[in-house]
Amino acid sequence: MEDRTSKNMILWFFLACFLISISLMGWLLSPFFSIIVLGAVVTGAFHPVYRLLTFRGRIRPGFASLLTCLLIFFILFVPIVFFVGVLAQEAYELIQLTKSPALFNFINTHFTNNALLDRINPLLANFDIVITGEELSKTISDIGRAVGLFFFDQARAVASNTLSFLTSFFLMLLVIFFLLIDGPKLVQFLIDLSPLPEEQDTQLFDKFSDMAGAILVGNGLCGAIQGIAGGGIFWLFGLQSAFLWGVIMFLLAFMPIIGVGAVFAPTVIFLFLTGRVGTSLFFLVFYLLLSGGVEYILKPRVVGKRVQMHTLMVFLSLIGGLKIFGILGIIYGPLIATGFLTLTNIYHASYQKLIEHSQP
C-alpha cells in the first residue's frame, strides 16, 4: 500500500514538473507564436513542391527545402514589398481625397438635385429620414477616411519597422526550412506525447492541415482572383484607388455572406446615381459572373470537401479572429473553430457515452 502511494506521489510530482516545463516552454516560444503558425501554414501550402523535388531521391531533402524556401521568398516577399509601397500611396491619396472640397462639390452636383433622391426622400420621410447631398458627402468622406487610415496605418507600420519585418520573415523561412525536412517527425513526436489515442491525434492534425491548406491555397487563390479582377476593372474604368479597393476585395473574398459584394454593391449604386447607367449595369453583371464563377465553380474544385464547416461558423470565426488578432485572424479564427469542431466530433464519437455511463 505504501509502495503504491509512493508511486502515485512520484507520478503527480512528475506531472506537476512536466506541466510547469510545458508552460515555461510555451512562455519561451510565445514571442514567435505568429511566426510558427504562419510558417506551419505556408509549409502545408508549399509541401507539394518539396515532395516533388525529393521524389525518388532526385534532390537531397536539405537542398530541396532550401529551393522551396527560395521559391517562397520570391512568391511572397517580393510582392509584399511592392504591395506595401503602392498600398500606402493609394491609401494616402484616398485620405487626401476625403478632405478635398472637390469631393463635396462632386456629390452636391450629382446628388443634391438627383431625381432618384427626390423620389426616395418622400418615402423615407415616413421614418423621419431625409437624404441630402451634405449628409451623403459626410458619410462617403467618413467611410473613405476610415478605410484609407486603416490601410495607411498598416502599410506604415510595416514600412517603419522594416528591420522587424525582415527579421520575422526570415525567421519564418527558417521555421519552414526545418518543418519541410522534419515536419513528419515533429508531428509524430506530438502524437506520441499526447495522451489521446493515435487515431484521434491524427484526426486533429489532418483537420488542421486541411483547414490551413484551404485558407491559404483555396481562399487565398480565390481571393486573389477576385481582388485582381475587381481592382483591374476599377482601374480600367478610371475609378479612384483601384489597387486599394482590389486589396479590400481580396480580404472580403475570405468572408462568406459578405464577399466582394460589399465593394461592388455601393459602386453599382454610386455609378447609377451619377448617371453612368451603362457602366453600373456592366459592374453588376461583372460582379455576378466573378463572384458566382469563383464561389460556385472554382472554389469547390480547389477546396473540395476538405472544409466542412457551416457558413455562419466560418463567418463568425473570421470576424472574431480579425477583431482579436488583427489581419492574422483570417488564419487564426478558422483554425480555432476547426480545433473546437474536431474535438466536438471526437467527444461525441468516443467520450460522450463514457461520461453518460459514469453518471449515477
What the block records as the C-alpha cell of 52 is 516533388
Helices assigned H by DSSP within the chain:
2-29, 33-53, 61-72, 78-99, 101-111, 115-124, 133-160, 162-193, 198-213, 220-236, 242-252, 261-273, 277-293, 299-303, 311-325, 329-346, 352-358
DSSP 129: -
Lowest-pLDDT range of 80-89, 216-225, 279-288: 80-89
Nearest to 210 by CA among 337, 295, 316, 323: 337
- Please check the confidence at residue 25 and state whether its pLDDT lies above 80: yes
- Please check the confidence at residue 101 and state whether its pLDDT lies above 70: no
- The tens digit of pLDDT for each residue in 270-327 reads 787 777 778 889 999 998 898 888 877 777 776 655 566 777 787 888 888 878 877 7
> Percent of the chain beyond pLDDT 90?
7
What the block records as the C-alpha cell of 260 is 466582394
CA–CA separation, 174 and 42 (whole Å): 12
Highest mean pLDDT of the ranges 26-35, 102-111, 119-128: 26-35
CA–CA separation, 349 and 196 (whole Å): 13
Higher pLDDT, 181 or 337: 181
120 — pLDDT class (breaks 50, 70, 90): low
- Please check the confidence at residue 148 and state whether its pLDDT lies above 60: yes
- The tens digit of pLDDT for each residue in 230-260 reads 889 988 988 877 887 888 888 888 777 778 8
Question: Are 58 and 67 contacting, i.e. CB atoms less than 8 angstroms apart?
Answer: no
CA–CA separation, 36 and 29 (whole Å): 9
pTM: 0.69
CA–CA separation, 344 and 352 (whole Å): 10
Q: What is the mean pLDDT of residues 130-153?
A: 65
Grid look-up 493609394 returns 90
CA–CA separation, 272 and 264 (whole Å): 12
211 — pLDDT class (breaks 50, 70, 90): confident
Grid look-up 488564419 returns 331
CA–CA separation, 214 and 202 (whole Å): 18
20 — pLDDT class (breaks 50, 70, 90): very high
Nearest to 273 by CA among 115, 156, 135: 115
Lowest-pLDDT range of 68-72, 84-88, 114-118, 223-227: 114-118
Instruction: List, in order, residues 6 or more apart from 84 with CB less than 8 Å away.
Output: 155, 158, 159
Grid look-up 437624404 returns 131
Nearest to 44 by CA among 172, 211, 170, 173: 211
> In Å, what is the CA distance from 43 to each residue of 49, 177, 221, 307?
10, 8, 16, 18
Instruction: List, in order, residues 6 or more apart from 174 with CB less than 8 Å away.
Output: none
Q: What is the mean pLDDT of residues 46-61?
A: 83
Average pLDDT, rounded, for the chain: 77
Counting Cα atoms < 13 Å in the Cβ hemisphere of 155 gives 21
Task: Report pLDDT for 339.
Answer: 81
Q: Is 297 exposed, middle or buried (0-12, 13-18, 19+ CB in 10 A)?
A: exposed
CA–CA separation, 148 and 207 (whole Å): 37
